[in-house]
Amino acid sequence: MDGTFIESFNIAGVTQIRDMAYDGTYFYGSNVSMTLYVLDLPNKTLVDTISVSCTSINGIRHIAYDPELDGGNGGFWVGNWNNLGAIDMDGNEIYANIGPTITSIAGSAYDPYTEGGPYLWMFTQLGSNTVDIYQFEIASQTFTGVMHDCSDAPGYNGGIAGGVATYDNGGMFTLLADIQQDPNLIVAYELAPVHAEQLNPPVAPFSAFIPARYAHLARVTTLLAEVRAMLSDDVPEDVQATLDEVEMHVSNASATANTIYAQDQLRTAGELLENLLATL
């Protein structure tokens, strides 16, 4: 998960897959047709195909697996550029004609952990930078107004939205977004702890990108307490210099409204403290 290239491969009978979804066993994707391909990626094989029927959907460009659909049997949220519906695991319609007000959707992903959810995250080619992520509330089948412009991601050079995915990154539920550019860019946003008790203070309901800041701040606070417990009253100059640098990064994080910058500053502060602890 560090971005290191491993390999590329082809699967016979499968071409031009867009967004993908994963149910814990297989990956699912389509070539903007009404056919879903069931893929065993570790073994590089096509397992099955699913014929999809969903009113108003004329091709599957974006897809998200939702384990709660179909009475807990699981299913998929699917759609093309400007539409959205839901199907069961056999491709039969559950919801249709949802008609989201957000268009140009390139990817979607399921999020059961952010407070107030579950949600879908829609990666769209809207806006001046064509890399906007929107939050969609499943219960009301409406957009919440929460949006993030991914053009602030380090390495962004004018790309457009592609697929998105979510996963458990060591206890922090994380959103991955594929920005189509040269070179291709994958960005990660920490959404919420997988277990609610991991978050202190609680999540404010107006933004799903704030929990990551709290998680990093909690880590910095814990590490700083460990460092101070190991220090005497006479603090060496080099140690004090590191503590001053930590304080600067924490202050930077507190002063900004840019969540990604805040996360980076707190992550750097945590790394400094970890390195300092290793020398004490």
Q: Tokens 């539409």 sit at which residue?
A: 83
**Whole-prediction pTM value?**
0.69
DSSP sequence for 130-165: S-EEEEEETTTTEEEEEEEEGGGSTT--S-EEEEEE
Q: Give the pLDDT band of residue 1 (cuts 50, 70, 90).
A: low
The pLDDT assigned to 195 comes to 64
Query: What confidence tens digit (pLDDT) does each residue in 36-51 have?
Result: 999 999 999 999 999 9
DSSP, collapsed to helix, strand or coil, labels residue 124 as: strand
Amino acid at 187: V
Which helix (H) or strand (E) segment is 103 a member of? none
Q: Mean of the pLDDT values across residues 53-63? A: 94
pLDDT at 226: 86
* pLDDT exceeds cutoff 50 at 204: no
Tokens of 232: 């005497």
Average pLDDT over residues 238-243: 90
Q: How far apart are CA 65 and CA 85, in angstroms?
A: 12
Residue 88: CB atoms within 10 Å: 16
* Range in 7-16, 103-112, 119-128, 259-268 with the lowest mean pLDDT: 259-268
Q: Cα separations (Å) of 117 from 55, 136, 208?
A: 25, 9, 10
The mean-pLDDT minimum among 27-31, 42-46, 57-61, 267-271 falls in 267-271
Q: Which CATH code is given to the segment(s) 20-192?
A: 2.140.10.20
Least confident of 77-86, 111-120, 221-230: 221-230
Of 135-139, 205-209, 276-280, the one with minimum mean pLDDT is 205-209
CA 196 to chain CA centroid, Å, is 17
pLDDT digits (tens, 9 = 90+) for 247-267: 888 878 767 655 566 777 888
pLDDT tens track for 127-151: 788 999 999 999 988 888 888 899 9
Spans of all domains in the chain: 20-192, 211-279
Q: At what angle do helices 211-230 and 259-279 cross, to 10 degrees?
A: 20
